[in-house]
Amino acid sequence: MMNPTLKREILAEFLGTFILLALGAGVVAQVVLSSNANGSYISINIAWGIAVTMGVYVAGGVSGAHLNPAVTLALAVRRGFPWSKVIPFSLAQVAGAFAASALVFAVYSEAFDAFDSGARMVTGAKATAGIFATYPQPFLSTLGGLLDQITGTAVLLLVILAITDSRNNAPTSNLAPLMIGLLVVAIGMCFGFNAGYAINPARDLGPRLFTLVGGWGTEVFRAGNYWFWVPVVGPLIGGVVGAFIYDFMVGNHFPADEQADA
């Protein structure tokens, strides 16, 4: 039988990630299916940031609202988060993202049919797979994409650790989700061009698995020279790198009494 505390945390991670992806995939669906008549790249950036904020508010008091396996892994490596919870949290996050994608597709099913006449495309003028998962620009190499994902996620974790570090110039706890959401907006505006700034394995893999069974087929894993692994592996590396950088350059240099209180 599952530990009751872990069960509550897993449910919170599922629901928080569900809200994150429902709003995130929802805004991309609205922009793409309306052919940019109801939104733009800027609205996508802003809505994803708000989605992160809302997801953190939903789950934060129960699980800490990781909502991202890269966050969970980095906290296990650098903040003593129990290793036994890494896989359960990550699975809950992927499942929440999958379920949210299914909901967005159901809500917009008639708009999908009007847009592509039922022909679910991964690439081309009527491509809709990118509503759910990320795909690289034609010019982007696999190595370039890996660097892109490592960089974006390293920035994400570095700043999250700064925002949540009580020894630093941290906001009050009820403002931290808003600051993290603004951080995601900034990353999207600065590092979104190459491949859509997944910076979260669950945010990409869960929706990609939905598209696999939802009508787009195995091309969602073959596209972009088998791109699918890059937004999974890159963020996992980048999150740990960002945590190490924060600790090496800031976190390890507070006075001893503050270190003891951390």
pLDDT at 11: 98
pLDDT, tens digit, 9 for 90 and up, residues 67-115: 999 999 999 999 999 999 999 999 999 999 999 999 999 999 999 999 9
What is the residue-averaged pLDDT of the chain?
96
Q: What is the pTM of this model?
A: 0.95
Boundaries of every domain in the chain: 4-261
Q: Which CATH architecture has domain 4-261?
A: Up-down Bundle (1.20)
Task: Read off φ and ψ for residue 121, nearest 5 degrees.
Answer: -110, 145
What percent of the chain lies above the pLDDT cut of 90? 94
pLDDT, tens digit, 9 for 90 and up, residues 5-26: 999 999 999 999 999 999 999 9
pLDDT at 1: 75
Residue 138 per-residue DSSP state: T
pLDDT at 255: 85
> Residue 19 CB: number of other CB atoms within 10 A?
22
Instruction: In whole angstroms, give the CA distance from residue 34 to residue 39.
Output: 8
